[in-house]
Structure 1
Amino acid sequence: MDLTWLTNALHTHTAGFAEAAEGGDPATRVPTCPEWRLRDLVGHIGQAHRWAAGMVRTREPAAVPDPLEADPPADWTRWLTEGATELADAVRTTGADTTVTTLLGPGPAVFWLRRMLHDTVVHHADATLTTGRTTFEIAPDVATDALDEGLGLMSTPGAEKVKPGLAELAGNGEKLLLRAETTGWLITRTPSGPTCSRAVGDADVTVEGSERDLLLVVTRRLSPDQLTVTGDRALLDHWLSRTAL
């Protein structure tokens, strides 16, 4: 993975998140994360970047921080920017390929830069939906990588230990297709769990839209009704209810 590309994208979406959040009422509930207020959403991003940076530097696991206990300073933009910079610097200094602790066992340090980029991307969308101050924009290549990363994590053996709902996605060959204009993601439910490949083909249910909109549907930030859905809608709904990224 290109370290410069990931770093630039992280800074872009951290800035977009900060712009959407800055000036909003800290007590406003986040409609797509109703257990959080806007202040908690900001706290989560600032905490998560620093938490990941710490694990990259130490190469050791650390307890997941609680956003409800975060205490972001008044200058949200500066704090968020500093957290993103801390993470990018930690990966660069440690070495992108250096083995560290990840969500699914040992992996390269760059895992955390990519994971935090796409966590920030999704919460950038949340911030825009909460305050209405800006609109959510994302480059197609970033949305494509977000789908690659999220669907790849979902289909990694052992992922159900992190997200128990995935254990309910074993099946008998049922297929779901996410179809963008120039690419697609074909998900197959096998007896041992879901698999995903960058491909197009026949499927039991197909969702068609832009990379941006497919990402928002997969993360349950946009209703599939806003896109073109053909085939077994119940299969899609079952999958979405257990795989929100």
Structure 2
Amino acid sequence: MDHAAYIDQIRLHCAAMRAAAEKAGPDAPVPTCPDWTVRDLIAHVAGLQAWLEVSLPLPPEGPAPDEPRVPSDWAELLDWWDERVRNVTAGLAATAPTTRTWSFVPGFGADAGWFARRQAHETAIHRLDAEHAAAETVPSLLFDPEFAADGIAELFELLPPAPADRSGTILLHAADAGRAWLVTLSETEPLRVDDTPAEPDALYADARVVGTADAVYRAVWGRPGHAVVSGDSALVTTLKSF
């Protein structure tokens, strides 16, 4: 996926999230985010986008931007978030993806392309959260296979390069996207990921997470779905909390 496609995804998922949030109402619980209300969910996403809006034009070595003041009033929050979405997507669209920018962790997510991709998946997963809050039944949302597979791969860029609490291998297989990942967790070595191993069905793994890209995407981000988990399920839980 290219830079412009990620920005389109941000707009798409923010619009759908807003519609779901209005349907649910600010005080509705978010089943997929325990202890959060819809107001908390929107404040979280809007606050992240406000931070990105002010940090995007800053040099990597500059001082940290001020923390954004997120409105508490529901109507004001929604209007404020609308402005953040417009400004962030316009700012990302006007910035070359290789442009380095300020980041809380030097060298991590320090260019506009990284932030566009991160926001695309941040808003996609939280759109799903909002739809769970608004739905009387399971939401009908299905993510595009290419986008969902990209979200699985992006997770591995976010996981810390550190040993885990358990050792073992996990095979993630997104069949409709033609993608698979063999994840090796170790108590003594950093996490290792082998992308698109050949003939994934023939590979041995201590645990497997198999399904459509949509299903595996939800599984690795800890959201309910239809992925089939077999083998040592505790390893999959370790990956989610790593």
TM-score (structure 2 length as normaliser) = 0.82
Look up the match of 1:194: 191
Q: Name the counterpart of 1:90.
A: 91
Distance in 2 separating the partners of 1:150 and 1:63:
27
8 Å CA contact retained: 1:19, 1:77: no
Match of 1:56 in 2: 56
Partner residue of 1:222 out of 221, 224, 232: 224
1:227 aligned partner, one-letter code: A
1:131 pairs, out of 134, 139, 142, with 134
SS of the aligned residue for 1:137 comes to coil
CA distance in 2, matches of 1:143, 1:128: 17
Q: Are 1:116 and 2:119 an aligned pair?
A: yes
Q: Report the counterpart of residue 210 of structure 1 in structure 2.
A: 212
Q: How much does 1:110 deviate?
A: 1.8
Contact 2:71-2:80 within 8 A present in 1 as well = no
Counterpart residue number, 2:72: 71
Identical-pair percentage: 25
Corresponding residue pairs, total: 227
Under a length normalisation based on structure 1, what TM-score does the superposition of the two structures give?
A: 0.81
The superposition leaves residues 184-232 of structure 1 with CA deviations (integer Å, 9 ceiling, x where unpaired) of: 1211124322122322333111111111111111111116xx4322322
Structure 1 residue 145 corresponds to structure 2 residue 142: no
Aligned position for 2:174: 180
More strand by share: 1
Q: Pick closer, same or farther for the CA change 1:46–1:72 going to 2, 3 Å.
A: farther
* AA in 1 matched with 2:213: E
1:81-107 Cα deviation digits (max 9, x unpaired): 432221122223343211113354232
Distance 1:49 1:72, change over 3 A: farther
Q: Is the 8 A contact 1:3 1:110 kept in 2?
A: yes
Give the drift of 1:235: 2.2
The farther-off stretch of 9-18 and 101-110 is 101-110
CA positional deviation for 1:53: 1.7
Structure 1 residues 103, 144: closer, same or farther in 2, change over 3 A? farther
Match of 2:200 in 1: none
Per the TM alignment, residue 144 of structure 1 is displaced from its structure 2 partner at its CA by: 1.2
- Distance of aligned partners of 1:84 and 1:127 in 2 relative to their CA distance in 1, 3 Å threshold: same
The alpha-carbon distance between structure 1 residues 62 and 177, as it changes in their structure 2 partners (threshold 3 A), is farther
Q: Provide the secondary structure at the position in 2 that maps to 1:22.
A: helix
Structure 2 distance, partners of 1:202, 1:102, is 39
Letter in 2 for 1:85: R
Of 205-214 and 17-26, more deviation after overlay is shown by 17-26
1:197–1:88 CA distance, 2 compared to 1 (3 A): farther
The SS at the match of 1:179 is strand
Q: Does the Cα contact within 8 Å between 2:7 and 2:93 map onto a contact in 1?
A: no
Q: Which runs of 5+ in 1 are unaligned?
A: 161-166
* Structure 2 gap ranges (5+): 198-202
Letter of the 2:133 counterpart: T
